[in-house]
Structure 1
Amino acid sequence: MAKLPWSVHRRVAQSWARTPVQASSSLTNFFSEHASKAIGGLPLSIEVMSAVFNGKTEGECGDILGRWRTMIKCWDFQEIVKETYQTLDYNEKQIFLDIACFATGIDFRIARYLWDHLSFPPFREIVTPLAKIEENSQIWMHSMVRRLGREIVRAESLTDPGRRSRLFNHEIALDTIKRKKGTENVRALCLNFQWRTSVKLTPEDFRSMPNLQYLQLDHADIAGDFSDIFPNLMWLRWRGCPQQLQVTNFRLVNLTILDLSSSKVTKDWKGWDQIEMMNLRVLDLTECADLLVTPKFSGCKNLAILILERCSQLIRIDHSIGNLQHLVTLNLKFCTELSMLPVEVGDLIALKELLMDGTSVREIPISIGNLKQLETLSASNCFCLSRLPRTICRLRSISLLSLDGTRITALPDSIGELVRLKHLSLRECCQIRKLPNSIGYLGRSLAELDVSGTGVVKFPHSLENLQNLKVLRMDSCFFREFPPDIGELTNLEEIHACWCRSLEGGIPSEIGKLHDLRILRLRHSTISSIPAEIHQLSNLRTLDLLHCDMIKELPELPSSITVLYVDDELK
């Protein structure tokens, strides 16, 4: 693999070493000095190493560099990870090993409830970059780091898996419990019978492991009296659990996370009464296709996250949902048969995220105006939704409103009262013909506006007030002219106006004021000219003019462009 230039190593080191002196000179100089010995993938090594220096003084960094000098010169990635792991405290090590063994790819907002009792500091400050939180909130760990984490667990007992803290391999875990070799050391155990021969599991298989905190029983068949078997269990993942339970006294008093995805559960499933839910914070019922009506929620009043995504036959949510005063996330995405939200949704005073994309909901209850904490309302592809309640103007905390593909004909004039709205998406709302002038009142907050595929033909004059707008998407619209006030949107970074086949004239010269513009996409539009002022856009990286047949010549383009799409005759 090609070596990276020294300047890249220095920039990476500076960006990742978050010491009180903001990337100490000794650290960055050391990386630069030995960068010529780098192999492919070096930035990952630097990221991993920087976790060690996070929060340390320059003197402490110097001591560590002295101890590691030989190792770093050789760029031994495995040793770098092992040394980084050794600098973590006990709680941080437990979280790292959990992620390596079973929590990679899990939504951090769910997994964190397993670690609440560890009193750990903010997640991004403890195992980053040994593990990261992606934009979709999922926990990500590089496969090499994950493999080394699992090797650490195997090394806890090379010959006796039952003495390890985590049994993440199905065959080893099953063999261990069937031979009654499990010990009190086992913290996590993973079984998955989806593609394997099912084996009936009994209480005796687990009795020797009282400290289990995470248990995966995917598609497992269990039976018997489980009284006092799982006294410390906090996370039960039982995907594909059967409709008919054969267990008794299944009281999981410390259960915090319950994942029953892809199971045969119904409203009358006996497990609702068997499993103790007073401490439950997460209930995941994704793809429970037999669920027509939700169970009553009176027994899990501390619930924070309720996931009903892709429950394809769900037609009704029990009114007791209003009792969930701590609920932060309600996920109803792709519950295609769900046509109505209970009015009690308005009682969810802690709700921050309401996801109802792909449902058949016809209207949002006016009680939604009570949700003072709501930050995200996503109703994309709700093809039956034709209007918004007037009370939506009360959602003063909302930052994302997505109505893509709905039948809404207009936004209420009160939209301007949503003073924290950052992202407004109306993509493919074909029946919307214009935007209210009050949208200009969002000038201090709105960062992204998407009207692609709508019937909007002209922006209101108040558009010029959107001083914080960074992304403007207007693909496949019927605008007759490019927004003449575009130059007033001085913070714009992206403009997307592809397939605008009604555009007449050229881009106004005021576009030269957009010094932060990075992306300009006009593919398949009928724009007729590009102004000479485009040369002033020193940050422009991408210019897409492919199949812009009305453009006959191009002015001098900025040297910053790295991606250019044009037809051959314009080259």
Structure 2
Amino acid sequence: MHDQLKILGREIVKENLQNPGKRSRLWDYKDVQTTLRKKMPNWQCTEKVEALRVTLNFNQDERVFDCVHCDHFHHLSNLRLLELNNAGLEGNPKNHLLSNLVWLDWRGCREKSKLFALNMKNLVILNLCSSPVELNLEDWKRLMLKAGSLKVLNLKGCPWITASLEFPASMPLCCLILEGCLLSTPTIDESISSLENLVSLNMKRCISMKHLPPALCSLRALKELLIYGTKVERLHFEEGSLPALEILSACECEVLGEVTDSIGLLKNLRKLALRSCKQLKGLPHFIGKLVWLQEMDLSYTLINELPSSVKEWKNLEVLKMVHTYLEGFPEAIKDLEKLQELDFTHCESLSEDCDITGLSSLRIVRLKCTRISRVLTGDYGLSNLYILEKDDGVEFIYPRAISL
């Protein structure tokens, strides 16, 4: 939702419902504190509250971590979304506290005892982003048991989860975010293969991961795999692997030196990002089998040429090769009619002519800091081109293009 529309909606709610306890959503610090501290017989008026955000109190430019007493939640019987932004829980919550909770966003969670005391039976989304809470193997198994209905689990920046992550076969998990987790093993538990509904897996900055877990091969529904900034050395896939995969991001995998022919097995791949893989020197011939590829980013690699098979990338729309070692304009891309953006910025070895005659859909061409002398567009030019970034002295004649 656009920020201005969000602000307008909140102001309308405040204006029409002066009593915060009668609103369905509470986010303002003062309104939240007033509502949580209501006493009998006013509790019944807070039954309409379905979403509650408890934020930090700023006092004299110092961050004071607020704590909410568990007793304050007993009259919020219809609460479905709870956001505790670096806030804690006091008291001893009962096991049936907040039984209708569907979405728990507890950034900065510190005590696992308070986390496990909440009712998670109906929980669909759990966000523990940037939490210092420590979870060992037994804690992890307990969490999986209590929150068996989870579809989204966000553990981004939780360095103290040291368990080997095991998943029950019945869990309907769709999105798993492990970004920045210091996993105890260099791979992930084989039980991940049982997550038949998993669509997105984020393992960015999991620096202990040195190879792709074999168990990933059987994830039939996975569409997005992010291994950005890991220690993976080689991209290799078995026959039948990841049939639904559309996005593979392996940017900043600084020790990644090989992409094998098996990459061609990912028949439905739409986006492949290998930016800043500084050991990568080339691509395999079978890369051309990625016929549905729409975006490729090879920037800041050691690649100096593209294999001839890339002429099969008939659906390619974006090709980025910033600061690579190309020596000549790639012949294989000259007839890719759907290509819209071409970025060869800082390809300092790229010389001779840049012939984009057959690239009829081109909208953006970036050629700054190259040794190209001429840009050739054919007799009629390129009607869709509206941004051309080039160095002074590069010959290009087409009045509708904007030179920057």
Establish whether TM, by shorter chain, passes 0.5.
Answer: yes
In the other structure, the counterpart of 1:315 is 184
Q: Which has the higher strand share?
A: 2
Q: What's the CA shift for 1:185? A: 0.9
Matched ranges for 1:220-299 at <5 A: 220-243=88-111, 245-246=113-114, 249-268=117-136, 273=142, 276-298=146-168
**Do the aligned partners of residues 226 and 518 (structure 1) sit closer, same or farther apart at CA in structure 2, a change above 3 Å counting?**
same
In the other structure, the counterpart of 1:423 is 271
Matched ranges for 1:96-245 at <5 A: 141-158=1-18, 160-180=19-39, 181-182=42-43, 183-193=46-56, 195=58, 197-218=64-85, 219-243=87-111, 245=113
- 2:373 partner SS: coil
- 1:146 partner SS: helix
Deviations 1:497-556 (A, max 9, x none): 222333343234xx33433222222211112233473762222211222256xx4xx35x
Computed over aligned residues only, the root mean square deviation of the Cα atoms, in angstroms, reads: 3.2
**Do the aligned partners of residues 369 and 383 (structure 1) sit closer, same or farther apart at CA in structure 2, a change above 3 Å counting?**
farther
**Do the aligned partners of residues 271 and 245 (structure 1) sit closer, same or farther apart at CA in structure 2, a change above 3 Å counting?**
farther
In the other structure, the counterpart of 1:60 is none
Structure 1 residue identity aligned to 2:5: V
1:559 to 389, 393, 399: 399
Deviations 1:459-506 (A, max 9, x none): 444444433333333333333332346542333322222223333432
Select between 206-215 and 224-233 the one with higher mean Cα deviation: 224-233
**Do the aligned partners of residues 338 and 233 (structure 1) sit closer, same or farther apart at CA in structure 2, a change above 3 Å counting?**
same
Following the alignment from structure 1 to structure 2, what is the Cα–Cα distance between the partners of residues 378 and 491?
Answer: 22
1:355 to 220, 226, 231: 226
**Do the aligned partners of residues 344 and 194 (structure 1) sit closer, same or farther apart at CA in structure 2, a change above 3 Å counting?**
farther
Q: What's the CA shift for 1:449? A: 3.4
Following the alignment from structure 2 to structure 1, what is the Cα–Cα distance between the partners of residues 270 and 249?
Answer: 13
Q: Structure 1 length as normaliser, TM-score?
A: 0.61
Contact between 1:525 and 1:547, CA under 8 Å: does it hold in 2? Answer: no
Following the alignment from structure 2 to structure 1, what is the Cα–Cα distance between the partners of residues 159 and 262?
Answer: 39
1:546 aligns with 2:384: no
1:481 to 328, 341, 351: 328
Task: Structure 1 unaligned segments of length 5 or more: list them.
Answer: 1-140, 385-405, 566-571
Structure 2 residue identity aligned to 1:235: W
Following the alignment from structure 1 to structure 2, what is the Cα–Cα distance between the partners of residues 472 and 246?
Answer: 49
Q: Structure 2 length as normaliser, TM-score?
A: 0.83
Following the alignment from structure 2 to structure 1, what is the Cα–Cα distance between the partners of residues 140 and 31?
Answer: 28
Deviations 1:110-157 (A, max 9, x none): xxxxxxxxxxxxxxxxxxxxxxxxxxxxxxx22331122112322452
Deviations 1:18-61 (A, max 9, x none): xxxxxxxxxxxxxxxxxxxxxxxxxxxxxxxxxxxxxxxxxxxx
Q: Which has the higher contact order (CA 8 A, sep 6+)?
A: 2
Structure 1 vs Structure 2: percent identity of aligned residues?
35
Contact between 2:247 and 2:272, CA under 8 Å: does it hold in 1? Answer: no
Contact between 2:237 and 2:262, CA under 8 Å: does it hold in 1? Answer: no
**Do the aligned partners of residues 241 and 423 (structure 1) sit closer, same or farther apart at CA in structure 2, a change above 3 Å counting?**
closer
Deviations 1:173-219 (A, max 9, x none): 12211133552111111102375544543332111121101111232
Following the alignment from structure 1 to structure 2, what is the Cα–Cα distance between the partners of residues 361 and 500?
Answer: 26
- 1:529 partner SS: strand
Contact between 1:534 and 1:558, CA under 8 Å: does it hold in 2? Answer: no
Following the alignment from structure 2 to structure 1, what is the Cα–Cα distance between the partners of residues 65 and 350?
Answer: 63
Following the alignment from structure 1 to structure 2, what is the Cα–Cα distance between the partners of residues 506 and 246?
Answer: 66
Following the alignment from structure 2 to structure 1, what is the Cα–Cα distance between the partners of residues 100 and 173?
Answer: 19
Contact between 2:236 and 2:260, CA under 8 Å: does it hold in 1? Answer: no
Structure 2 residue identity aligned to 1:257: I
Q: Which runs of 4+ in 1 moved over 6 A?
A: none
Structure 1 residue identity aligned to 2:354: I
Q: Which has the higher helix share?
A: 1
- 1:175 partner SS: helix
Contact between 1:200 and 1:223, CA under 8 Å: does it hold in 2? Answer: no
Following the alignment from structure 2 to structure 1, what is the Cα–Cα distance between the partners of residues 203 and 367?
Answer: 36
Following the alignment from structure 2 to structure 1, what is the Cα–Cα distance between the partners of residues 311 and 223?
Answer: 30
- 1:530 partner SS: strand
Q: What's the CA shift for 1:244? A: 5.1
- 2:272 partner SS: strand
Contact between 1:193 and 1:220, CA under 8 Å: does it hold in 2? Answer: no
Following the alignment from structure 2 to structure 1, what is the Cα–Cα distance between the partners of residues 376 and 301?
Answer: 27
1:497 to 330, 344, 360: 344
Contact between 1:302 and 1:325, CA under 8 Å: does it hold in 2? Answer: yes
Following the alignment from structure 2 to structure 1, what is the Cα–Cα distance between the partners of residues 354 and 390?
Answer: 12
Task: Structure 2 unaligned segments of length 5 or more: list them.
Answer: none
